[in-house]
Each structure stands twice: as C-alpha cells, then as structure tokens.
A and B are shown apart, each in its own frame.
Chain A
C-alpha cells in the first residue's frame, strides 16, 4: 500500500452529532437490511459532499491523500497505452468473484491478481460493501473521480416496474445481490486509483474488517438522491458559473440525454423480463392443459400428437425462463448499473461546480479584505492593519489553492470521463453480443423442438 496514507484514514469521532447506526448487529440475519431505506434527512448526509472537516470522515484535502498529480501521471500512462487493460499485464488486473452467502455465512469475496497470481479470499457482509463505497465516495468524489456506486439495498427495482411474486423469493434475491456485488467490486478495482486505495486493499485482503460503526452506508439510490439534492443546491447558487470550457457543458448535456434514454430502455427491458416470465408460466400451464386434452382424445394418433405437443410446450416454457434470466442478468442489470453510474458522473460534475464556487467565494473575500485594509491604512490602528495584511496573505493563499483545486478537478474529470466512456463502450459491446448470443441459442432450440414435433403431427392418420 502507498506510504503516503496513514493506516487509519477514517476517524471515528464519537463527539460528533448523533450518528445513525445503519449496520445490523445481528450476526445471523443477512437480510435484515434487505428492506431498510436510507433516511434522507439526517444531517450526516451532507458531510460527504461538503468540504471541511466533519466528524465522520477525515478532512480530505488534495495534499493529504494520494496526490492527484501522481495519480494523473498513472492515468496518462494507462491512457497512452493499449486501450485494453487486459493486455497491460499490469497490477491493474484483478479478477473478482463474489460467492453465495449460504455456503460460507457471508458473501465470499475472492480476488485474484492476474499478474502476481496472488489470491485472497475473505468473507464480507452486505453492509461491508456499502461501507467501502461510502469511504471511497468521501475520499474521491470531491476531487472528481467517478466512484462506482454500490448496489441497491431495497428489492424494488429503480424503475419500479411491477414485478411478479417470483422476484421476492429469497434464492432469486440473493443471486441478484451476489451478482450486483460482484459487478460493483469488479468496477471498483478496474479504476486505477481505487485499486490502489488502502481501504480497497484492506477490504479484499484482511480477514477481519474493523466494524465501522459510524460509517454512513449509502446505496446507489441514496447517492442519487444526494446528488439531486446537491444539484438543487448548486442551481440555487446566486453566481452562475461562467463556463469557459465548452467541453464540460457539452458533456453534461450528453450525460443528461444518456440518462434519460437509459432509464427508458431499462424500464422497457424490465417489462420484457416480466412478460417473458409470464409467457413461461402461461406456456407451462398450456402444456399441462394440452396433455389433459390429449388424454381425453379418443383417436389414438391424435391423442399421441397432443401429448407430444404438450411436451414441446413444456420444453419451450423452460426456454422462455432461461431467456428471461438472460434478459435480466445481461441486459437489465447492465442498464440499471449504468443509470446509477451516470448519477455518480453527474455528482462529480456538480462537485466541480462547488469547487469553482468555493474559489469564487475566496476571491470575493480577498477583495473585501483588501478593501478593509485600504480603509484601515487611514485609520491609524497599526495592530488591526497588521491583522488585515495577514488575513490578506491567508486569503491570497486560499484563492490560489481554490484555483488549483478547480483546475485539478477539471483535469481529473476529463480523464475520468475519458476512462468512463471507454469502459462504457466496452461494457455495452460485450453485453450486447452476449445477449444476442442468448437469443440465438433460444431460436436454435426452438427449431430443434418444432422439427422433432412436425413428423409427429404429420403422423396423425
């Protein structure tokens, strides 16, 4: 782990305002958090996006954490090299597997470093994943890194499409969650800076994680709601940002459009999953009915053909079920992930606005201090004058820092967006191809089944 970070970077200050305990103390019940909703109104939400010290998190300023400049050079290197990080053979390559909690009493989390071949296996609770995300968000979002959001806590999908009773079955729910956690962790370690983050390393390697009592665990939806609140706050700012860089305005608009379309697509795909499941159920029901009809048909050959029709339909119902599974895990979940990711992207753009605003405020204050000093020059109060001069120096530094911060976050965002877009293109291409392959498989099976049935139908004499 890099030496520039102290081992404990999260202060657990018990003197701060009353913390909301989100973690469940019950060891056995993994699903206690299943329907827990995160409270929006608790004031502890704010600290993550605001600057300055807060009880729950270490004051994180650019000089204390892994310096962005160092990170930036790493970025540059990775961007200059071959697009595909898989071909780097770098320490960037980590393969993550999250396994079924039933078997090990906690989500088994295995990370395999493809370069060094070091492998770690640990047990983690769902809240641990949320805790990890909250730490990373608090450390990196305000300097412009797109931190992958953690999976949803609640069962209801983001688009709130009415899903059948089957979705609430515990086996399906667990698999959904497991898969989501694996994707979350994989995205996290794909980020070059996050991969090297001590919290991430600790998460992947330490057998025991410290019980982070005061960590505020936020789900993807929680982040989204916070981002929206922050965006509202930003809009209410009296000074509208002078966008000198058209790139940012363009990109924000693009992400806005992408957001709208992805949500729409997600809703349609969720509807498809639902109808496909329904089709499977109805086909099975029809198959039984056809079998019954075949039984009562007194013409022997027709009776046999009807029974065979029933068998075909039964196989087809299985096929529909498998296809619905593919619809969901390949297509729908990807879309859901990206809707949440874009919320994180928007969050980062808003952070830049805040950084700019802070810089502007510093400039304004400096101006006032200078005016005050000018006035004091004629007032014959030497100690006050000295104080004024000191304050001017202080605020000049702050203005410089503010400008640096703004430039840094702008630079980071550019790089992050570049990386994000590459990843997005890759993800979608891969998933689209896999999904089409699943559709191909379904049609091939259908052909097989009907080809087998046709001679049976023709045999009716």
Chain B
C-alpha cells in the first residue's frame, strides 16, 4: 500500500527540520519558555504533532517534556483565547490551517491505479515526485502549527494562560472533539452576526487618530494581501506545471536518444540529462517561492484578520461605552436606576480602556513583526532565486559547451 512508506514516524523529519522554525514571525525566544514541534506522524486522516517544551517556569512539573497533540486541540486552544474576555485587547495568534493532504493523497492513489499503464522508470519517477510533494505539504503544516505555539509562548500574557499549560503538559488526550454540525452552524451564524456588527462598529469614527488610521490601513491591507496570496499561488502552480512538462520532455528525449542511430543521439541524451537536472531546480524554485512568498502572504492574511478582529472588539467596547454613557445621562436625568447605570458605565469604561491600552502596543508589535518577516523572507527569496538561476545557468552552459564541441 502506498501509504505505508509515508508513515515513518521518527525518521520523517530530518535533523535540519528540528528546532523552532518560526519562519514568518521573527520571535524572540527566551529560555523561560521554549516550544517547538519536534516530530510529526501522518496517519490516514490525521496528523499527530509531538509538542516539545523546555521551561524554567515553576508552573511545570518538569523542565523538559513532550506531548502528542492533534489539529483539533490547537483549534480548541485558539478558540479558548478568542472567547476569553481578558484577552480582548490582544491580537490572538491566528489558528493554523487544517492539514490538507487530500489532493496529494488523491494523486498518489491515481498513480497507484495507473501503475500498469506506464514503464517502471516513469512510475518510480512520478512516485518520487508525489512523495516529495506530500513531504513538502507535511513540513508546511508542521511549520504552521509550530508558529502558532511560538507566538503564544512569546506573548507576555498568553504564555501564562492555564489552557496553554494544560495543552503543553497534560499527556493524555484532551478529549476535544471537533465541532459537530450543530456547533458549526452556530459558528456560522455567529460569524454572520459578527460581520454585520463589524460593519456598524467600523462605521463609528474614532477620535483617536492612531486607531482611525489603523482601521483604514488594515481594511485595505487585508484585502490586498488576500489578492496577492491568490495571485502568488496561481503563479507558483504554473511554474510547477512547466517543471512537470520539462520532466516529460526529458524522458522522451532519453527514449529518442537510445533509439537513434545517428549522430544526434548524443545530443538527445545529453539534453535529456540536462533537463532532468534543470527541472529539479525549477521544481525547487516553485517550492521556495511557495515557502518564502506564498506562505508569508497567507500568514499575514490570517494575522491581519486577527488584527482586524482586535479593532472590532475595541470598536465594540467603544460603542458599548458610549451607549453606557448615554444611558447614565438618561438615568441621572430621570433619577432612576442611577447606581446600576453608573456601575455599567464604569465596567464599560474599564473594558474599553484596557483594550485600548494593549491594542495600541499589539498593533505596533504587529507592524514590527510584519516588517521583519517580510524583510527576512524577501531577502531569502531573492537569495534562493539567485542560487537556483546560477545553478541552472551553470548546467546549461556546460551542456552547451559539450554540444558545441561536438559539432
């Protein structure tokens, strides 16, 4: 069965893959709490992440320990942050996307079914490629789950969260089942209500210039990041398709070379060899663009949404505060339920001020992180593109030298 070869647990992540990846967020990790995903196992329809923690904090029983977690448990943790009123003033680190191997699995299955219709070499070649693709997706999902945990661990308040500690330490299953249909439907309606409310809240002009600017900025930024993310995906897909074509061309050239009895067979064989190598480089280019560009954009799509959510919560608190003020004035005017109105107003005021205070810092930090991440990734992207182009050039030039020498 095709799947068996992919279920190698411990050996799946090579040495270089261990350790914090945090590619999209330039995080300061300190010794008091370090979290990473040291291992991962892919089974039929789920992925098991080994979450490894190193900590000097007294909260934990040991200094170093590991637990196994699944995607649903990450989501549970994320949702618990979102629902926690105390964290309303923070940008909640975005939840990692669900591991999606469906497309890859389908391709592998189709390949297995079509095994009889192709030569052994073609089959082996394609199998290797699909396995590489599967591995790439796998690495990505590990990275994204890890980034989430690192963001939490780096946050001065969230890192102290009890649920987070349970998540890290409790070595049994958290028994967090995925949402059932009813709950998913409830979520759906909640979101509808929230976005409708969001529109109303966003319409309220903020006296504070900083937040007013942030609101405008984030709205536009989020939409443009979304567009850039979609377009970069398309570009990378075309790149992969072209690399696949070159692969097929290389194979056919090889056959032509072996069949041909004339002088030109040398050319065919040499070029076939060349294309085998260059298409591997082209595939790597696509993969690197995916990691450094597409993933970066996708991450900041999610983070900018989380930032927007923060602004929404603050806006909501502001509206509540203003409404509470109006209610208090009314109560005083009528001299009825004044104490109650005063209490409500005070609560709203505190809530609003608490959120505003931390929100400002959170948004500034968001900008810092964003700039650092883009810088890192754009530099790495350019360096990789250069490396691959130079590699390609060298292969092409040396092949040309051989062929020209022959004529």
Contact = CB atoms under 8 A, between A and B. Distances in A.
Contacts of B375: 302, 305, 457-458, 460
A453 B383 CA distance: 10
Interface string A266-308: 0011011001101100110110111011011111011001100
Contact of A447 (B231, B389, B404): B389
Contacts of B220: 296
Contact of A296 (B217, B230, B245, B246): B217
A451 interface: yes
A451 B246 CA distance: 26
Contacts of B396: 436, 439-440, 443
B84 interface: no
Contacts of A424: 262, 264
B198 to A, nearest CB: 20
A450 B217 CA distance: 29
Contacts, number: 161
Given A286-B234, A447-B393, A440 B383 contact: no
A169 interface: no
B241 interface: yes
Interface stretch (A116-124, A237-245, A254-262): A254-262
Interface in A296-353: 296-299, 301-302, 305-306, 309
Contacts of B176: none
A365 interface: no
Interface stretch (B167-175, B248-256, B307-315, B318-326): B248-256
A433 interface: yes
B363 to A, nearest CB: 11
Interface stretch (B63-71, B107-115, B221-229, B335-343): B221-229
Contacts of A460: 371, 374-375, 378
Contacts of B232: 286, 289
A265 interface: yes
Interface in B3-24: none
A307 B262 CA distance: 52
B399 A436 contact: yes
Interface residues of A, number: 56
Interface string A437-461: 1011001101100110110011010
A85 to B, nearest CB: 16
A248 interface: no
B256 A265 contact: yes
Interface string B393-407: 100110110011001
A102 interface: no
Interface string A372-407: 000000000000000000000000000000000000
A162 to B, nearest CB: 13
A432 interface: yes
Interface of A: 254, 257-258, 261-262, 264-265, 268-269, 271-272, 275-276, 278-279, 282-283, 285-286, 288-290, 292-293, 295-299, 301-302, 305-306, 309, 421, 424-425, 428-429, 432-433, 436-437, 439-440, 443-444, 446-447, 450-451, 453-454, 457-458, 460
